[in-house]
Amino acid sequence: MENICVVGAGSWGTALSVTLSNKGHKVKLWDIDKDHLEALRKDRENVRYLKGVPFNNNLSLVSHLEEGLQDASIVVFSAPAQHFREALKSCLPLLKDQLLLNVAKGIEMDSLKLLSQVAEEIAPSFKFAVLSGPSHAEEVGQFLPTTVSVSSRDEKTAEKIQDIFMTDKFRVYTNSDILGVQLGGALKNIIALGAGISDGMGYGDNAKAAIMTRGIAEIARLGERMGAKKETFLGLSGIGDLIVTCTSEHSRNRRCGLMIGQGINPEEATRRVGMVVEGMYTTQAAYKLAQELSVDMPITRAIHGVVYEGTDVNKTAEMLMQRDKKHE
């Protein structure tokens, strides 16, 4: 059994902490929000983000990073993608030779870097892995069957994470394509926004299926241009994650899109979700990447128009349907 520090006590960090501690690992959970930590310590569950999932005795809450990292062999970063750099920098002076794992999904807006690239920039000497796939925290916290992928540039690192996380309800596959695994997990949030908008407009299942299918096509186009493997997007961190995020009531990106489709402005829709909506950030990053790399991403471009340019959703839908004829 391992000593594990989890940085970030949102719904996903909490669900993984419960999963790991239930397996017998000693888990220390830390968050920058001291009031939130105190509530977790008092309630012995995350009432705010993951209600109904009690903590066991292997899971402890720590107020200081030093305490969490002191004996840890693995550090799991579950902070939102836009705060990953800051979280890693905060830990860096306290790290020795721990294995680092990121479980957030996104692209850094300012640099347009994947989070593994951020880690390579500021912590190049550490072994680093990412975990992604169709995995809503609400279901993982209830120990419902879930499968995910773990990827690292070092095969043994990925296999070690696989061994540590694997349970009879949480199945982990290894994947050598660290770029593709991250891009699939990040970019599907854009398409989930689109699926939610479509649902909010009352467009039905046919339209949503089209958005998902053509969405994975443009995700793969950008991924291949960036050096990822096309087949990765047919797997868990590609089409698997896309399906669950575009269709589930648990999906905050879909919920946000649903409200936008119903006429609520994007800023207010994000506020009402009550948690970070990564797709709102990833839309902007992917839009810039598509421009820089000359990749055609019409759905991403359309959602960027709705979210950041105030384009009317009805006109956007008409524009997508009336594009020039294409061969699939």
What is the Cα–Cα distance from 243 to 133, expressed in whole angstroms?
10
C-alpha 255/C-alpha 51 separation (Å) is 19
At residue 77, the 3 state secondary structure works out as: strand
- Contact predicate 309/299, CB 8 Å: no
Q: How far apart are CA 226 and CA 116, in angstroms?
A: 14
> Is 188 a known active-site residue?
yes
Catalytic residue among 28, 105, 188, 208: 188
Q: Answer yes or no: are the C-beta atoms of 69 and 43 closer than 8 Å.
A: no
Residue type, 50: L
Structure tokens at 322: 């009336």
- Rounded CA separation 300/325 (Å): 19
| d(C-alpha 200, C-alpha 172), whole Å | 34
Distance between CA atoms of residues 190 and 184, nearest Å: 10
Q: 3-class DSSP state for residue 147? A: strand
The residues annotated as belonging to the active site are: 188
